[in-house]
Structure 1
């Protein structure tokens, strides 16, 4: 059960893997595993409230990320480093020309 897992701590830097996820995009509860320590953490939008989130940088486009929240703006976690970053949300749909 995810409620018995520790909440993802601010400032933790490691390589992570996604163990499970529940909910809708932008409002999911993630279980991520720190591959260095093999500890599982629960991560949800409320976890990062109040955190100072850096802007996206070019490194983030070279590996997998998960979307933690879309409100008030998108925040994602870069799995190779555990770094959180803010970016523009992905397009909500495709439009015909």
Structure 2
């Protein structure tokens, strides 16, 4: 799997992509580091490490968080890989708190 997104850290705004396993996205934890500012962004948590994001300790993914915050996210395929595309910087600006893991 892969994700493309714009870092929401103030004064960063770096557009980037990351690759991770489907198993970790569906059953584990995925945290990616911005290649520009080095901030970490939570993509999926199925082990309950970030229970504060759901309030009830339920599993959470970037898809659920984006939907809850009204941020456009599209899912597609490139070859054999699933790709998540989070909207550009203007739409993601309000999601700094939910996407940031550090």
TM-score by length of 2: 0.32
As a proportion of its length, which structure holds more strand? Answer: 1
Q: Which has the higher contact order (CA 8 A, sep 6+)?
A: 2
TM-score, normalised by the number of residues in structure 1: 0.33
**Would you tell me which structure has more helix in proportion to its own residues?**
2
Larger radius of gyration: 1
